């Protein structure tokens, strides 16, 4: 079990993630040389390829007795580690700080054991009348620094879902990176699965794990 408190909204979740990164990593990123035209084409090609790539399965979470018990089940990538995130009682500071829009952070799946810096995060909420699009829009709107959202629908099993790609600009680092999330609504409430990352490069390298979760997502 993992308890996270003192996280001041989603912006602070990003700060907490970055706090675990050594200074050398950040320095290396900041000193990277500008990409040549050929490098940009290669990066675009790699990104397009990652969109259709699914990571190797390392386990399944969501069911009773798994690392994270959720209203849905899905496969997680090989070597990624899932842990439950617990807030406090409804209305206290831990509960409030772990909320974004209509959902609360309940599970983190850490990519570091697989060699990347970032998380696949699962947010859940109470049953309500909102559909998946409304839930996802409220989730993104509650994230300071989000912009240029692109929404699309998808279907997984019997669940109808909505996915969003957007840009997140960090005031702390004055950098912009890609992020994405998906939402489904179950009889036990809405579920949002979000993929961030240290930067756009890390985000794109972790896309196969996100695609695995999306394609195997099922209601309990």
Percent of the chain with pLDDT over 90: 66
Q: Are 113 and 88 in contact (CB under 8 A)?
A: no
- Which pTM value belongs to this model? 0.78
What mean pLDDT do residues 49-65 have? 86
Quote the CA–CA distance of 191 and 96 in Å, as a whole number.
Answer: 18
Give the total residue count for the chain. Answer: 220
- Residue found under tokens 């912006």: 11
Residue 86: the pLDDT is 86
Based on C-alpha coordinates, what's the Rg of the chain? 17
**Residue whose C-alpha is closest to residue 14's, from 176, 189, 148:** 176
Percent of the chain with pLDDT over 70: 74
**Structural domains in the chain, sorted by start:** 2-219 (3.40.1000.10)
Q: Are 191 and 31 in contact (CB under 8 A)?
A: no
Residue pLDDT, tens place only, 78-118: 999 999 998 766 667 777 789 999 999 999 999 999 999 99
29 CB-side CA count, 13 A = 14
Residue 185: the pLDDT is 97
CB-neighbour burial class of residue 142 (10 A; exposed 0-12, middle 13-18, buried 19+): middle
Quote the CA–CA distance of 15 and 67 in Å, as a whole number.
Answer: 25
Quote the CA–CA distance of 131 and 191 in Å, as a whole number.
Answer: 11
What mean pLDDT do residues 133-154 have? 96
202 vs 15, more confident: 202
Q: Tell me how crowded residue 132 is: count the other CB atoms within 10 A of its CB.
A: 22
3 state SS of 127: coil
- Residue found under tokens 């969501």: 62
27 vs 95, more confident: 95
Residue pLDDT, tens place only, 125-134: 999 999 999 9
What mean pLDDT do residues 142-147 have? 93
Q: Can you name the residues that pair with 171 across neighbouring β-strands?
A: none
Residue 88: the pLDDT is 63
What mean pLDDT do residues 68-85 have? 97
90 vs 215, more confident: 215
Residue 20: the pLDDT is 38
**Residue whose C-alpha is closest to residue 208's, from 62, 61, 57:** 57
Residue 8: the pLDDT is 35
DSSP-assigned letters across all residues of 50-93: HHT--PPEEEEEBSTTSSSB-SEEEEEETT-EEEEEE--STTSH
Quote the CA–CA distance of 78 and 182 in Å, as a whole number.
Answer: 21
């Amino acid at each position: 079990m993992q308890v996270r408190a003192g996280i001041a909204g989603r912006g602070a979740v990003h700060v907490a993630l970055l706090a675990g990164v050594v200074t050398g990593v950040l320095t290396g990123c900041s000193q990277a040389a500008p990409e040549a035209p050929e490098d940009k084409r290669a990066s675009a090609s790699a990104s397009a390829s990652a969109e259709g790539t699914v990571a190797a399965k390392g386990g399944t979470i969501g069911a009773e007795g798994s690392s994270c018990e959720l209203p849905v089940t899905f496969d997680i990538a090989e070597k990624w580690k899932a842990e439950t995130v617990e807030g406090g009682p409804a209305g206290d500071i831990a509960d409030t700080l772990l909320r974004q829009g209509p959902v609360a952070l309940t599970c983190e799946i850490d990519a570091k054991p697989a060699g990347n810096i970032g998380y696949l995060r699962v947010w859940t909420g109470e049953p309500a009348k909102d559909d998946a699009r409304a839930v996802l829009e409220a989730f993104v709107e509650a994230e300071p620094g989000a912009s240029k959202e692109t929404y699309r629908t998808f279907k997984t099993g019997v669940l109808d879902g909505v996915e969003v790609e957007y840009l997140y600009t960090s005031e702390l680092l004055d950098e912009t990176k890609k992020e994405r999330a998906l939402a489904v609504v179950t009889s036990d409430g809405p579920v949002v699965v979000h993929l961030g990352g240290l930067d756009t490069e890390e985000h794109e390298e972790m896309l196969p794990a996100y695609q695995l979760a999306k394609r195997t997502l099922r209601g309990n």
